[in-house]
Copies of this chain bind each other. A is one copy, B any other.
Amino acid sequence: MGMVGGGKDAFIGAIHRIAANMDGLIEFTSGALSINPEIAKDSAKSLFLPESRTYLTFEEMFQKEAALPEDQRIDFVTIVTPNFAHFAPAMMALNNGIHVVIEKPITFSLDEAKQLKQKVDETGLLLCLTHTYSGYPMVKQARAMVREGALGAVRKVIVEYPQGWLSKLSEREAGNAGAAWRTDPKRSGKAGAMGDIGTHAWHLAEYITGAKVTKLCADLNIMVQGRALDDDGNVLLKFDNGAAGVLIASQVAAGEENALKIRIYGEKGGLEWAQQEPNTLLVKWLDQPTQILRAGSGYAHLSSFATKNCRTPGGHPEGYLEAFGNIYRNFAQTLLCRVNGGEPTPEMLDFPRVEDGIRGMAFIDTVVASNGSDQKWTEFSV
């Protein structure tokens, strides 16, 4: 594995490395870790990268890696730069025969995402998008239950992602680089909170229900004066299976951490999952007591999509890093099958792709368009 971005001043790079390390399947061997050469070198050193594979630009990395013997060069690259700097390295990696893992949102614009898809289709390479929350085992359990019809037809979806960390104008504080680029339209894109976390909420809703949003009605707000992008929003949703829903995303929900939560109601029952207590899935029945499904439990109810994404037995809580690790593990196992000639299982193939990235960019475009419109509904099409 190589890495673009993720120098020692960046949070998300460290997360990706832990996730990739966890299972002993992936070796981190090279990187272009910062556009600042000093940071790039220092970071590489502290991460035990050899000097020979410490690069100052992604262009250098892909050229030199591609020139190495096949069994020495990187199989894939992870791109963890800010949004505006996803497209160029991803495209160049694909052009050099290198598979790609990319932090979400996939690109800066929908158009870039479509170009990436074309390139993925041409090259046949893998592109994995780290919509982390879809890596949690009980999210996969929820999806399996909906698919199997345990709830009957889905009628209602409530998905929410409240955070509080932008309740003040934190982007103006020294040292808050994460807030600074996320609230800057030039680096983040058209949307603020809706792009950063609303897309996660949207993805979770489509991932679990298997239904697609067909139209929506968005109300985006800038609650903190002096900010250029939305820090709060509420969206009405309609799905292609007749379900209705609400999506709530906010970064000014003061006092909240990362309270992503989804509830799905069907004819026969409902599901509730909350990211901050991720090992539990509440299953609410119309005519029976609510059940508490727990990750790692031995009883026969759990789908193989849940059990194969756990590393410990019940009662040993797993968390965000393991969910992230599941994305990497499934991707790596699929890649290993390619390399070794095996056939990946459906569980291995269960990681987000370029298609998810395109719909995610379209979600942002549609939400922003709806917010600017006097009409109630705006079509969501890709």
Q: Which residues does A use to contact B, with CB under 8 Å?
A: 11, 14-15, 17-18, 21-24, 28, 47-48, 151, 155-156, 158, 160, 162-164, 167-168, 217, 219, 221, 223, 232, 234, 236, 238, 244-246, 248, 250, 252-259, 263, 265-270, 275-279, 283-294, 296-299, 301, 311-322, 373-377
Contact = CB atoms under 8 A, between A and B. Distances in A.
B321 A253 contact: no
B315 A301 contact: no
A234 B223 contact: no
A284 B256 contact: yes
B18 A47 contact: no
A8 to B, nearest CB: 13
13 contacts: A18-B311, A219-B236, A246-B246, A253-B265, A253-B270, A254-B269, A254-B286, A257-B294, A276-B317, A279-B319, A289-B291, A319-B319, A319-B322
A376 B219 CA distance: 9
Contact of A151 (B17, B160, B254, B298): B254
Contacts of A244: 219, 221, 223, 232, 234
A290 B287 contact: no
A6 to B, nearest CB: 12
Oligomer: number of copies = 4
A12 B7 CA distance: 33
Contacts of A374: 375-377
Contacts of A236: 217, 219, 234, 236
B232 A156 contact: yes
A263 B269 CA distance: 24
Contact of A254 (B238, B258, B268, B375): B268
B155 A223 contact: yes
A292 B294 contact: no
A257 B319 contact: no
A293 B285 CA distance: 11
Given A160-B158, A255-B290, A301-B289, A320 B312 contact: yes
B317 A278 contact: yes
Contacts of A164: 265, 270, 284, 286
B285 A289 contact: no
B246 A248 contact: yes
Contacts of A278: 317
Contacts of A292: 289-292
A315 B162 CA distance: 11
Nearest to A254: B286
Contact of A317 (B275, B286, B312): B275
Given A167-B286, A223-B244, A289-B301, 13 more contacts: A17-B24, A155-B221, A156-B252, A156-B253, A163-B315, A164-B270, A217-B376, A236-B236, A275-B317, A289-B294, A290-B291, A290-B294, A316-B319
